[in-house]
Amino acid sequence: MDLFRVLGAGARFDKKRFRDDVEVFHAPRSNDATLEKSKLEDNVVADLDFFGTSDAKDPVKTDNAEEDGGPKSKRRKLDVQTESTPEEEYAPFKNEEEVNIYRKQNRIRIYGTDVPHPLKTFAELSDRFKLRKYLRKNLDEAGYNEPTPIQKQAVPIMLHAREIMACAPTGSGKTLAYLLPILQDLKGPAKEGFRALFICPTRELAQQIHRELKKLCQSKPFKICVLTKTNVSNDNVAASLQNFDILISTPLRLVHGLQHESIKLSSVRHLVLDEADKLLELGFLEQVDEIMASCTNDNLQKALFSATIPSGVEALAKSFMKDPVRVVIGAKNAATETINQKLLYVGQEEGKLIAIRQLIQQGLRPPVLIFVQSIERAKELFHELVYDGINVDVIHSERTKAQRDAIIQSFRLGRTWVLIATELMARGIDFKGVNLVINYDFPQSVQSYIHRIGRTGRAGRKGEAITYFTREDGTYLKSVVNVMRESGCEVPEWMEKIKGPSKKEKKILRKKPVEREGVATVSKFDVKRVEKKRMMIEASKRRKATQEGANSGESK
């Protein structure tokens, strides 16, 4: 324990979040009030691989209060990035000029015809759209007092039954922006088969959407299904799917269900692609295509949401959307402005480990997320840091489902201070209190950069992001520099002057990450030598044991 304490000397803790660890280490108390409070509202991932709220008449009662954000009385009002507009002050817009000014104030840009006016408050929804009482109540109870800019504009658009393509920063509340209008439209449970379908790229994100949904439909016993390997292939379960209202799935899982004819999407009225640009990339596109072809309802209404929508994806989306409204909040494809972004030159690969250890010594303020470019590198980095006296864990797709759930839960609760992750965790995951994101390996695209660093600085909080770069990453530096400048971060003059990568170079990087030396304090050559020596010693031990066995047999 003493050794552990010595090695962990550089780590600083928030007392509430890391209570047990603080007691062990007598670490100084963090004076970051934001983090102090965040524990109260951090959600714990429950194992959601089951049929959502289906078994429970009142789903609320089945939930642990902690899991859905802790005691209501302790929930704090979240900062949202808007001018405060108290509900009493709500007054309808007098003319289009006022609407335009309001949009400008909220950095809302719209493209499309007859775009409905934005909201000023959630209260206004009752007047304008007869918002169902349970929704109003649940919004209040969740602590959502004021709509964020994307919610202000996207909610009325969707309530007017318009298709939408929305690009808004990470952590700006896009999930609520699409859930709220869809729940309003669904009215209540109906046993007509799935009427709303949410598609997202990872199982972790599907679970998160489910959690947010449950928060919003408390007291309305909607039947929600999060599609998993087990329930998609279970005939008994599949037969009862007709009774469900809402489906959340990753593309592959759903296509599997469609191919086995256990799932029918003919009743789907609302289709949301969350992380739309990822879902419309090669790899997912074919599956998404198949899913859309199965949504045969004439009144299907599509909605696409992401923090990044490159123009190619936008063009593709337009080809299958009906008169969509495009909404962009802030600069398009930019990072959240509450994140302080830094680029750090580390020379060679080994410079990264030196830099990270320095950071630990100087005082790392957990929770910290570290992104690497491959599973192998994630494992290697874990083996390096696990001896450095910090509570570190690693998450990637080779870990089992149960392990992934436990790791996420432990990180949310503050038991894990540093989480090493692959691209799997880059999108959508809402860890509210993450203080620092480290891009140990330079990201493969601007989109990846924006989503990775967007795991910090969420819902108006401050965050920090450090990106390490080596000589090999130099070609791609400019793309990140542009994002930094766009989002108001200081960029050294010399970086501004760097030439950007060509289209071809960008394409190459997207396909294959930069080749790197392994993550190790000793060189690969040394690792091999040590491994060879270890194997020789073991072989010699085995020979000795066999020899001894033979000798004792002879002496008998």
Ligand X SMILES: Nc1ncnc2c1ncn2[C@@H]1O[C@H](COP(=O)(O)OP(=O)(O)OP(=O)(O)O)[C@@H](O)[C@H]1O
The residue (of 277 and 349) whose beta carbon lies closer to ligand X is 277
Out of 8, 116, 118, 171, the residue judged to bind ligand X by CB under 6 A: 171
Q: Cα torsion for 247, 310, 455, 408, to the nearest 10°?
A: 40
Amino acid at residue number 190: A
Residue type, 82: T
Which span (28-36, 53-61, 86-94, 170-178) binds ligand X, by CB under 6 A?
Answer: 170-178
Site string for ligand X, 436-465 (x = CB under 6 A): ------------------x---xx------
Judged by beta carbon, residue 175 or residue 391, the one nearer ligand X is 175
Of 258 and 408, the one with the shorter C-beta distance to ligand X is 408
DSSP codes of every residue in 225-246: EE--HHHHH-HHHHHGGGG-SE
CB atoms within 10 A of CB 16: 16
Q: How many residues bind ligand X (CB under 6 A)?
A: 22
- 428 binding ligand X? (CB under 6 A): yes
The stretch near ligand X (CB under 6 A) out of 152-160, 169-177, 248-256, 528-536 is 169-177
Phi-psi region of 450 (alpha: psi -120 to 50; beta: other; left: phi over 0): alpha
Q: Is 176 in the site for ligand X (CB under 6 A)?
A: yes
The alpha-carbon radius of gyration of the chain (Å, integer) is: 25
Q: Does 172 bind ligand X (CB under 6 A)?
A: yes
Q: Smallest gap, in angstroms, from Cβ of residue 78 to ligand X? A: 4
Q: Which is nearer to ligand X, 197 or 307 (CB)?
A: 307
> How far is the C-alpha of 146 from the C-alpha of 81, rounded, in Å?
10
Which lies closer to ligand X via its Cβ, residue 404 or residue 458? 458
Selected from 38, 53, 121, 170, the binder of ligand X by CB under 6 A is: 170
CB 423 within 8 A of CB 395: no
Residues contacting residue 217 through CB under 8 Å, at least 6 positions apart? 53, 59, 134, 138, 183, 224
Vertex 161, ends 118 and 318: CA angle to 5°? 90
CB of 77 to ligand X, least distance (A): 8
Site for ligand X in 49-88 (CB under 6 A): 78, 80
Convert 130-148 to b/e letters by CB count within 10 Å (16 or more is b): ebbeebeebbebbebbbbb
Residue indicated by tokens 């992104």 = 371
Among 156, 173, 201, 367, binds ligand X (CB under 6 A): 173
Q: Which is nearer to ligand X, 150 or 420 (CB)?
A: 150
Residue type at 138?
A: N
The residues near 214 (Cβ < 8 Å, ≥ 6 apart) are 52, 53, 59, 63, 68, 224
- In angstroms, the Cα distances linking 332 to 170, 204, 320, 483 are 12, 26, 22, 10
Interaction residues for ligand X, span 142-161 (CB under 6 A): 144, 146-148, 151
Look up tokens 């090493």; give the residue.
420
Residue of 39, 404, 432, 516 interacting with ligand X (CB under 6 A): 432
Q: Which is nearer to ligand X, 165 or 176 (CB)?
A: 176
Which span sits near ligand X by CB under 6 A: 163-171, 293-301, 322-330, 475-483? 163-171
Candidates 60, 158, 307, 346: give the one binding ligand X (CB under 6 A).
Answer: 307
Minimum gap (Å) between residue 308 Cβ and ligand X: 9
Binding mask 308-347 for ligand X (x = CB under 6 A): ----------------------------------------
- Shortest Å, Cβ 98 to ligand X: 22
State the minimum distance, in angstroms, from the CB of residue 175 to ligand X.
3
Q: Which is nearer to ligand X, 52 or 169 (CB)?
A: 169
Residue 303 beta carbon to ligand X: minimum distance, rounded to whole angstroms = 13
Q: Select 151 or 475, whichever has its Cβ closest to ligand X.
A: 151
Residue with the two structure tokens 């074919």: 286
Instruction: Identify the residue whose tokens are 């108006």.
Output: 460
Residue 85 burial (CB count, 10 A): 18
* 455, 369 contact by CB (below 8 A): yes
Q: Give yes or no for a contact between 195 and 265, defined as CB atoms under 8 angstroms apart.
A: no
Q: Which residue has the tokens 């031990």?
A: 541
Question: What is the rounded CA–CA span in Å between residue 22 and residue 40?
Answer: 18
Q: Which is nearer to ligand X, 279 or 353 (CB)?
A: 279
Nearer to ligand X, 177 or 346 (CB): 177
Cβ at position 39, least distance to ligand X in Å = 14
> Would you say 81 and 106 are in contact if contact means Cβ atoms under 8 Å apart?
no
Q: Shortest distance, CB of residue 74 to ligand X, whole angstroms? A: 15
Question: How many whole angstroms separate alpha carbon 194 and alpha carbon 254?
Answer: 13
Q: Considering beta carbons, is residue 103 or 152 the nearer one to ligand X?
A: 152
Helix, strand, coil percentages for the chain (3-state, nearest 5): 45, 15, 40
Strand partners, 164: 303, 325
Dihedral (CA of 53, 295, 288, 167) sign: negative
CB of 224 to ligand X, least distance (A): 17
Closer residue to ligand X (CB): 189 or 457 = 457
Which residue has tokens 């970086």?
495
Least separation in angstroms between CB 220 and ligand X? 19
List residues near ligand X by CB under 6 A.
78, 80, 144, 146-148, 151, 168, 170-176, 307, 428, 430, 432, 454, 458-459
